[in-house]
Amino acid sequence: MTKHTMVTLRLHRSAVILIIVFALIFAILIFVAGYLSGGKRVAKPAAATAAAPQKHVALEARAVPAAQPTVTIRVGMFTTEAEAKALVQRLAAEKIAASIRPLPMDNGATLYLVMTGRYATREEAASAASKLAEELGVETAVMPIE
């Protein structure tokens, strides 16, 4: 007959504590890596456009599928909200819908951007911006809608 022997593995108390500590550290590292790789993937809502009818055909808002990036025209940039509102009123008198978008700066100041139109491509917006600059005598720039 063969004799069976049993092997018993015994760990010292400090070895058990070390294994538990390393397992906790490993779990925390996995959690942090998952959190960082997940990132913040929150969809930004599309900017609301005013419902007033527009005078210029080139400035009409175009229906754009949600998957395409859209751009708008900046027709003014001011350090006070009152100046921005004055331009919006001037554009409303010309039957051009415009909105104000505050832009906080690093130094604590806020710039107020006056935006109009919504276009599917930069080229389309640039064409409309040049026409608007000629007709109203304002400086324009094409910007993405955020």
Query: Phi and psi dihedrals of 109, rounded to 5?
Result: -75, 165
Instruction: Specify the residue for token string 């600059």.
Output: 133
Confidence (pTM): 0.52
Show the domains of the chain with their CATH numbers: 57-144 (3.30.70.1070)
Task: List the chain pLDDT tens, one digit each, 146 residues.
Answer: 677 787 777 888 888 999 999 999 999 999 988 888 776 554 444 444 444 444 444 455 555 555 465 899 999 899 999 999 999 998 899 888 899 999 898 998 899 999 998 888 888 889 988 988 888 888 888 988 87
Token pair listed for 96 = 């051009």
Query: Phi and psi dihedrals of 14, rounded to 5?
Result: -65, -35
Strand locations in the chain, DSSP E? 71-78, 99-104, 110-119, 141-144
Q: What pLDDT score does 62 carry? A: 55
